[in-house]
Amino acid sequence: MQIAVTSQNRKTVTEHAGKCRKFWIYEVEQGVVADKQLIELPIEQSFHGNHHGLADGLARINVLISGSMGSGLFSRLKQQGILPIITCEENPDQAVSDFLANKLVSFNPDRVHTCHAHAH
C-alpha cells in the first residue's frame, strides 16, 4: 500500500491538497512503513492542474492524507479508489502511524473545522 501526505513545506501535513506539489510517499508492507520518500510534481501535474488522472509519482497511492481539500477532489479521489483523509495532525509520520493504527481523526470536506490558524 502507498500513502501520500501533502507536505508543501517538507515538514508538516499541509493544506490545499489540490495545489500541493510536494508529497511524502510512504510504502507500507504488512502494516509497517517500509520506505518514505519525498516527491515534487511540476505545477501542471498537481491535482488542480491535472483533472484527468494522477501524476506518475502518485499513480500507485491508496490513501491521500492532507490538512484540507475541496469536495470535488475528495469525490474524485474516492471515484479512483483512493481514500482521501482530511486531518488536523501536523506531523506526517504521526499521521501515517495513526492511520495504520486506525486512530487518525478525519473530517469531511463539507464540514467546517478548525485545525490550524484558520477555519476550513
Q: Assign 51 a pLDDT band (cuts: 50, 70, 90).
A: confident
Q: How far apart are CA 28 and CA 46, in angstroms?
A: 23
Task: Output the pTM of the full model.
Answer: 0.91
Q: Is residue 71 domain-resident?
A: no
Q: Is residue 106 domain-resident?
A: no
Q: Which residues pair with 31 in a beta bridge?
A: none
Domain assignment of residue 48, given as a range: 1-60
Give the pLDDT confidence score for residue 66 in this predicted structure.
Answer: 96
**Averaged pLDDT for residues 78-91:** 95
Checking if the pLDDT of 52 tops 80, the result is no
Q: Which of 91, 108, 101, 72 is nearest to 5 (CA)?
A: 91
Q: Is residue 95 domain-resident?
A: no
Q: Is residue 89 domain-resident?
A: no
Query: How many other C-beta atoms are found inside a 10 Å radius of the C-beta of residue 113?
Result: 14
Checking if the pLDDT of 119 tops 60, the result is no
Q: Is residue 30 domain-resident?
A: yes
For the chain, how many structural domains are there in total?
A: 1
* Side-chain half-sphere CA neighbours of 8 within 13 A: 14
Q: Which of 6, 1, 8 is nearest to 73 (CA)?
A: 6
